[in-house]
Amino acid sequence: IDDAIATSLTPEQVDAVLAPKVDAAWNLHRQTRHLPLNAFVLFSSASATFGSPGQAAYAAGNGFLDALAAHRQAEGLPAQSIGWGYWQQDSGMTGHLSDIDRARIGQALTPIPTAQGLELFDAALGAPHPHLLATPINLTKAPSPPPPLLQDLVRGSSTRRTASSAVGPTDLAGRLAGLSPEEQDGEVLSLVRTNVAAVLAHGSVGSVDAGRPFSELGFDSLTAIELRNRLATATGQRLPATLVFDHPTPRALAQHLKHTLLNTHVPATAQTTGTTTEEPIAIVAMGCRYP
């Protein structure tokens, strides 16, 4: 793996990540296709299905494995690609994860104990499908609204989605306009600290020091993008990928968002009917980093 934001990936990084997946699997396929194999099992990743922030190359490599399994089965050859989630036991790919990384992963995906992983492996081998996901998912901790792939699994997802969007971006800007400057500061700072705590998997907002630099709070390029995405959703604003680096503390970021919201707010009496010219916000799907 060589985690990086997709727009910053170099050809060398992509080649290094794809080689052990794409090149190795394709060569193995070509060199064994004439043999009477009982099984041809590829260890893929759930990141190819759900997406994983900062792991575009890794997800693509595993997506190739999933497609290769389908290709082999279409040719009458044995093949299965198992999309694993996050294994509890440390490995060469997960040993570097911090406590923050593990807590964020645990928000949706439950770590797989070795015994359960072996049971999942046996179950996958007995299934006829070329591609299966093998990961326990804690639906009670799924984000709201849940990712599209999980919406049918989460009971009352539409209700939760409605409730979570009851106070939308337009309401936030309008509410700020009716508050005093001090109340505006508190409202937006609370929004920022709440989302910082969620991204870093802190137990409480109180643990987020508003004056401490994001770099000292534990942010990296991936978590910075996740915070940007959350705040873009909450505010309805187009926010740059460099948001956290341009405004290096929660308090500085809150001040920036407050001025942005107040400057873009249009009172209801000034709004006109007709087709809106506002473009939709493209939000990157937010998940967890997992192997």
pLDDT (tens, 9 = 90+) of the chain, 291 residues, equals 777 777 778 889 889 999 999 999 999 999 999 999 999 999 999 888 877 767 788 889 999 999 999 999 999 999 999 999 877 666 655 555 555 555 554 456 678 888 999 999 999 888 889 999 888 877 766 655 666 677 677 665 444 443 343 344 457 778 888 888 898 999 999 999 999 988 887 767 888 899 999 988 888 777 888 898 889 888 888 888 889 889 999 999 999 999 988 887 655 444 444 444 333 333 233 333 333
State the angle between helix axes of 169-177 and 250-264 in degrees (0 to 180), rounded to the nearest 10.
90
- Say how many CA atoms lie within 13 Å of 260 toward its Cβ: 18
Q: Per the structure block, which two tokens stand in for 8?
A: 């910053």
For residue 50 the two structure tokens come to 């759900």
- Name residue, tokens 């308090």: 251
Tokens 């994001």, located at residue:
214
Dihedrals phi, psi of 110, to nearest 5 degrees:
-90, 130
* Helical spans, DSSP H, in 237-290: 243-246, 250-264
Check if the beta carbon of residue 257 is closer than 8 Å to that of residue 90.
Answer: no
Query: In whole angstroms, how far apart are CA 109 and each of 84, 136, 290?
Result: 11, 6, 9
Q: What is the pLDDT of residue 265?
A: 60
Return the SS3 of 243: helix
Q: Give the model's pLDDT for residue 152.
A: 72
Beta bridge partners, 44, equal 83
pTM given for the model: 0.56
What is the predicted pLDDT for the residue at 136?
Answer: 81
pLDDT at 73: 93
Which helix (H) or strand (E) segment holds residue 98: the answer is none
User: Residue 154: its pLDDT value, please?
Assistant: 67
